[in-house]
A and B are shown apart, each in its own frame.
Chain A
Amino acid sequence: MSVSTRLAVLSLTIAIGAIAAYAFLLGVPIVRNHPEGYVVAFAAATALAVVAVVRARSRRWPAWIALAISSLLLVGGGWFNFVAARVPDTPTALRVGERAPDFTLPDASGRSVSLADYRGKKPVVIVFYRGYW
C-alpha cells in the first residue's frame, strides 16, 4: 500500500471513528460536553487527506475519496456544532436564591403535578429539554 493510500485510510478511520466514539460515549459528560471534539477530529482527517492527495503518485482515488468524505464531515459538523446547535443567550427568569416560579403540569399518567407539591418535602431537579424528535 502506498503512503498516500495509508494516509487516506487513516483519515477515514479518524473521521468515522470520531462519529462512532461520539455516538457511543454520549453518556460520558466530558465527551458530550465537548462536541467541538468531533469537529477537531474531522479537521485532522481533512488535513491527512490533503497530504494523501498531495503525495498520491499512481492510485489517486483513495486519497480523493478520503478528502471528499472528511471535508464534507468538517463542513457539516462545524456548521452543526457552531451554528445549528447554538442557543441564543437570552435573559431567563432564574435567579439563585429566589423562589422558582410555580407551575402545574400533567405527568405521563395525566395527573397534575405542581412544583409546590414538593415544598417542605424534598429538593427538585427540573430538567427542561427540547423533546423527542
Chain B
Amino acid sequence: MAELQGLGAQLSEAERAGVEIVAVSPDSNEHSQKVAEGLRLNYRFLADRDLTVARRYGLVHLRGGPDGQDVPRPATIVVDRDGFVRWFSVSRNFQVRPDPDDVLRVVRSL
C-alpha cells in the first residue's frame, strides 16, 4: 500500500508533464485494476507475472518477498522517444523511491 501511494504521488505529477507511465509488477491484471480504481489512477499497469521483464532488466531481488519469493527491485527508468535510457534509479531500500521532481526534471528535458 505504501509503495502505491508513493507511486501515485509520482504519477499524478508526471502525468501533467504528458508522458506514458507504465507500472510493472508481478501483480495479476485483475488485482492491478482494482488497485488502480481504488486509487483513481489512470496509468498503465502491466503484469509481469513470472518476472520475465524484471529479469531482462536485471531487476530481480532473489527471495526478497515476504514469503521468500523473488520480487522486482523497485526501480524507475526514463526512456526517451527513441527508446534510449536517459535516467534511472534503483532502490537500495524498498521504502525509498526517487523524488518525483527528479524524474520530472529528466522528462521535461527530453
Whole-angstrom distance from the CB of A33 to the nearest CB of chain B?
A: 5
- Is the pair B79, A107 in contact by a Cβ cutoff of 8 Å? no
Indicate if the CB atoms of B74 and A108 lie closer than 8 Å. no
> Is the CB–CB distance between B58 and A126 below 8 Å?
no
For chain B, what secondary structure do more than half of its interface residues adopt (helix, strand, loop), or is it mixed?
mixed
Chain B residues with CB under 8 Å of A32's CB are: 6, 95-97
Q: Are A122 and B94 in contact (CB-based, < 8 A)?
A: no
Asked if B19 and A130 sit within 8 Å, CB to CB, the answer is: no
Tell me whether chain A's interface is mostly helix, strand or loop, or mixed: loop
Indicate the size class of the contact surface on chain A.
35 or more
Residues of A within 8 A of B86 (CB): 96-97, 123
Known contacts: A105-B53, A128-B72, A128-B75. The answer to whether A123 contacts B81 by CB under 8 A is: yes
- On whether the beta carbons of A125 and B94 are closer than 8 Å, the reply is no
Q: List the A residue with the shortest CB-CB distance to B72.
A: A128
Stretch among A44-52, A63-71, A84-92 lining the B interface: A84-92
Cβ B85 vs Cβ A131 within 8 A: no
CB pair B65–A124 under 8 Å, yes or no, is: no
Which residues in A have their C-beta under 8 angstroms from that of B97? 29, 32-33
Mark each residue of chain A from 77 to 101: 1 if its CB lies under 8 Å from any CB of chain B, else 0: 0000100011111111111111111
Question: Which of A27, A90, A103, A106 has a CB less than 8 Å from the CB of B9?
Answer: A27
Q: Is the CB of B81 within 8 A of A129?
A: no
| A93 x B57 contact (CB < 8 A) | yes
Q: Which B residues lie at the A interface, using CB under 8 A?
A: 1-11, 14, 18-27, 29, 31-33, 35-36, 44-48, 52-54, 56-59, 61-62, 64-66, 71-88, 90-97, 99-101, 103, 107, 110
18 residue pairs from A and B, CB less than 8 Å apart: A29-B100, A32-B6, A33-B96, A85-B95, A92-B75, A100-B84, A105-B48, A107-B47, A118-B79, A118-B83, A120-B82, A122-B20, A125-B78, A125-B107, A127-B10, A128-B73, A129-B4, A133-B66
